[in-house]
Amino acid sequence: MAAGDSACQSCEIRSRSGQRFHLWRFASIFAMGCSVGLFLHYPYLWLDRLLPAPGLRSLPTVLRKVLVGPRVASSLLGVWYFLGLGWLEGQTLDESHQELRDKFWEFYKADWCAWPPAHLVNFLFISSQFRVIYINGSTLGWGT
């Protein structure tokens, strides 16, 4: 997430005269990325235990795993992102909650467009020990 924010800020600096790198914005995004990253490791292990594939890569099992992610993780992580980042930016809980209400559905719809295809590739073609690394690369694109 921090690398994505750096890329965005670099583009903003090049396209707008007088724009500077916002270190606090970068630090806030970095902190949120670290907290989300800690959460993401364990759901993959849990999904593999909950929905073991009868074959090497069972398509029905993969599709169930793909559908669990956006319904559970996107909701929880979206709420955590908006409230956590709002807190880091000095917003009150009411302000963060209002931002969550204003932006969540757009975020959630975009999430459904990006993450199910990424997870389909992840669960069909990526070995379990490399799934978090693959998702980190996908998150770089998402964050940017």
Burial 106-130 (b: 16+ CB within 10 A, else e): eeeeebeeebeebbeebbeeeeeee
Q: What is the DSSP letter of 104?
A: H
> What does pTM read for this prediction?
0.74
Q: Is there a domain that residue 121 lies in?
A: yes
Q: Is there a domain that residue 135 lies in?
A: yes
Confidence at residue 90, expressed as pLDDT on a 0 to 100 scale: 92
Q: Is there a domain that residue 17 lies in?
A: no
Q: Is there a domain that residue 14 lies in?
A: no
Q: Are 38 and 58 contacting, i.e. CB atoms less than 8 angstroms apart? A: no
Confidence at residue 127, expressed as pLDDT on a 0 to 100 scale: 84
Q: Is there a domain that residue 120 lies in?
A: yes
Neighbour tally for 81: CB within 10 Å: 21
Q: Are 16 and 32 contacting, i.e. CB atoms less than 8 angstroms apart? A: no
pLDDT digits (tens, 9 = 90+) for 15-26: 998 889 999 999
Helix/strand/coil percentages in the chain, nearest 5:
85, 0, 15
**Band of the pLDDT at 69, cuts 50, 70, 90?**
low
Helices 93-125/131-143 angle, 10° precision: 130
Q: Is there a domain that residue 133 lies in?
A: yes
Q: Is there a domain that residue 32 lies in?
A: no
Q: Residue 93: give the domain boundaries.
A: 37-143
Q: Is there a domain that residue 66 lies in?
A: yes
| Structural domain count of the chain | 1
